[in-house]
Structure 1
Amino acid sequence: MTEDESKEGTFLVTAADDETAVLKDVEDGQVHTLASNPGVERYDAVEGVVSPDPPMNVTWQLVEVNSRRSLSIDQSSESPTTMARDVASEQPVGELTRRERAGIGEIHVVTVPEETTEQAVSDVLDDEEGLLSRAARLGVNRVEIRSSPGVVVVRYMP
């Protein structure tokens, strides 16, 4: 690899300690293990440039940081909005509808069998990396999960 093989993109920090960090490109899923940690923390979204570490090009360096933000996932006790409930009422069980949020972000409305709503919420929350990768791609900082019987709503918000 050469310096020309540097890669610019948006990365999710999937692991970090004092010595190293692991970045995942949120567009193509490529994983980049950094030779040293430049100060990032797990579940940060980093927009920047990584470059292979000579001479073996096995590890990477984060050579440029254009922006860095912390991402979070929260389960809200609030009910889904009227709009989300209306979307859910018009779709069959097992369907997913994506809508743009007013401003920045997206809302995903999933209909599930009423008796499995809690399990569906748990399953969504278990996919931290997937939720945060999408948040990083969308340029938002926060993922909020709301539910009511038969409806799970994932809100990607600034």
Structure 2
Amino acid sequence: MTAIEGTFLVTNADDASATLRNVADSQVLTLSGNPGIEAGEVVEGTVEPEPPMEVTYTLTEVAERRTIPVETVDLAPTAQTTEIAADQAPGELTTVERAGEGEVHVLTVPDDETAEAAADVVEDEATLSRAARLGVDRVEVRTTDGVVSVRYLPD
């Protein structure tokens, strides 16, 4: 096997090891040791398989380490988001590219499930993985009755 260079989400970390997920292809890689990374961090770098079995990896190069905040903000969804949501049935999702970097996801849900849906988005590892894949710096979740807007934003 050869070295893998990419962007990785640290999904689990303890004193003895760490688990990474490549955000490009979702490949899960177990590190045989923990070089000081923490769960929830995004690491851009290189991992190499350890001989002879090549089932565990070593993080051999770190180009960047960062965290991407994912939080609910006390702002209403934008007018564009509200217009998109008006044309959607509950349970539907629309993805809109932002001018410049990032994207916006518009999710419609039953009115009484809005807060729970927003909390699920904030806690979902997939939200953080997508943010890392998009190369954004933060994720902002906005809500109004029946609408959850997930904004993947540059700094």
Unaligned runs of 5+ in 1: none
1:16 to 13, 24, 40: 13
Shifted more, 102-111 versus 146-155: the winner is: 102-111
Whole-Å separation in 2 of the counterparts to 1:119 and 1:133: 20
Using the aligned pairs only, state the percent identity. Answer: 54
Amino acid at match of 1:147: T
TM value normalised by structure 2: 0.90
Cα distance per residue 1:108-151 (max 9 Å; x no partner): 00111212212222332331x11111001000121121100010
Note the 1:1-158 alignment, pairs <5 A.
1=1, 5-127=2-124, 129-158=125-154
Unaligned runs of 5+ in 2: none
Amino acid at match of 1:154: V
The number of residue pairs the alignment matches comes to 154
Amino acid at match of 1:130: A
Whole-Å separation in 2 of the counterparts to 1:142 and 1:126: 14
Amino acid at match of 1:47: E
Whole-Å separation in 2 of the counterparts to 1:140 and 1:88: 24
Cα distance per residue 1:64-114 (max 9 Å; x no partner): 222222122111121111221121122232221111123211110011121
